[in-house]
């Protein structure tokens, strides 16, 4: 698989952007062009579901995110194919921060389903054990891929806020259980993201064998994949090639990539 498409890039419009004054769409596209990317996608956070109240953090990140990005991209010519999507939220099974009607207006939707660090807003596991966390991850994942909203699942199965339990939580899930969930994703044509977040470091104290295990099962189930840095800064945006060891370990080809790019 060519490592030249980053479908998970945040601009200054995301509340968590690390470089509010400089991460403009134009500057982000310029860096993507310097990096020789074939395609890239803006995936700013947003909330557009009028039937569910957003958190205070999400409230300012409304549907105007998309029109602002598109307006700022007008007149920018680039060899890089630029897609405009979003990173939307799952706060509980069946409860999403984006509607089907709005999703249809976008080039893609990354539907997050493991932002468990938002403890007062996102439904939490029934208990503190890795086994309970594993069940919770699966419940959210199956709901997200069945929603009819997702193009790809960003940082799939990573339990944000509980990274120290990642290895054990996934180990508690059998291959059959994981393959069944990935078969569900494949049947709904939902891809899985291969993210820089899978690479362990001092803040991510888990084994790289954990994502390799379940991504291998996802490949066996016929899932497609997207690549993403989840960049909130220019430094992070330059990390795309760090995905090469994962792509090679999984023996992915261009046929395994989400085909729209």
pLDDT digits over 144-173, tens only? 999 999 999 999 999 999 999 999 999 999
Residue 252 CB partners (closer than 8 Å, separation 6+)? 1, 219, 225
Bridge partners (DSSP) of residue 112 are 89
* pLDDT level of residue 120 (50, 70, 90 thresholds): very high
CB distance 61 to 17 below 8 Å: no
pLDDT given at position 203: 85
What is the b/e burial string over 206-216, where b = at least 16 CB atoms within 10 angstroms of the residue's CB?
beeebbebbbe
Q: Structure tokens of 136?
A: 């919770």
Of residues 163 and 261, more confidence is placed in: 163
Catalogue all structural domains in the chain, each as residue range(s) with its CATH number. 5-256 (3.20.20.140)
Q: Structure tokens of 184?
A: 């569900």
End-to-end CA distance of the chain, in Å? 12
Q: Which residue is listed with tokens 């690479």?
A: 199
DSSP annotation of 117: T
- Give percent above pLDDT 90 in the chain: 94
86 membership: H or E segment, kind and range: strand 86-92
Kindly give the interhelix angle for 25-34 and 64-73, rounded to the nearest 10 degrees.
60
Q: Which residue is listed with tokens 């074939």?
A: 38
Q: What is the mean pLDDT of the chain?
A: 96
pLDDT given at position 60: 95
C-alpha angle with apex 228: 46 to 71, nearest 5 degrees?
45
Chain CA centroid to CA 42, Å:
11
pLDDT given at position 171: 98
pTM exceeds 0.85, yes or no: yes
pLDDT at 259 over 90: no
Q: Give per-residue pLDDT as tens, 62-90.
A: 999 999 999 999 989 899 999 999 999 99
3-state DSSP call for residue 205? coil
Other C-beta atoms lying within 10 Å of the C-beta of residue 182:
24
Residue 84 CB partners (closer than 8 Å, separation 6+)? 41, 42, 66, 69, 70, 73, 106, 107
3-state DSSP call for residue 80? coil
- Give percent above pLDDT 70 in the chain: 99
């Amino acid at each position: 698989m060519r490592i030249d498409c980053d479908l998970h890039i945040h601009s200054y419009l995301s509340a968590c952007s690390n470089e509010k004054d400089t991460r403009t769409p134009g500057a982000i596209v310029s860096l993507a062009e310097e990096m020789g990317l074939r395609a890239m996608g803006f995936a700013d956070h947003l909330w557009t579901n009028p039937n569910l109240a957003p958190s205070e953090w999400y409230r300012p990140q409304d549907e105007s995110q998309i029109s602002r990005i598109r307006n700022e991209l007008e007149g920018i010519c680039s060899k890089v194919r630029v897609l405009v999507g979003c990173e939307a939220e799952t706060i509980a099974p069946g409860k999403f921060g984006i509607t089907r009607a709005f999703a249809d207006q976008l080039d893609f939707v990354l539907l997050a389903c493991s932002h468990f660090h938002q403890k007062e807003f996102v439904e939490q596991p029934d208990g503190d054990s890795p086994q309970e966390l594993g069940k919770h991850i699966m419940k959210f994942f199956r709901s997200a891929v069945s929603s009819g909203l997702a193009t790809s699942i960003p940082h799939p199965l990573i339990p944000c806020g509980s990274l120290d339990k990642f290895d054990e939580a996934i180990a508690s899930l059998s291959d059959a259980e994981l393959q069944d969930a990935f078969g569900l994703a494949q049947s709904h044509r939902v891809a899985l993201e291969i993210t820089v977040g899978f690479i362990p470091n001092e803040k991510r104290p888990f084994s790289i064998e954990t994502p390799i295990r379940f991504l291998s099962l996802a490949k066996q189930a016929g899932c497609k994949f997207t690549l993403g840095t989840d960049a909130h800064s220019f430094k992070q945006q330059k990390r795309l090639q760090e995905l090469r060891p994962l792509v090679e370990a999984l023996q992915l080809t261009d046929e395994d990539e989400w085909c729209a790019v």
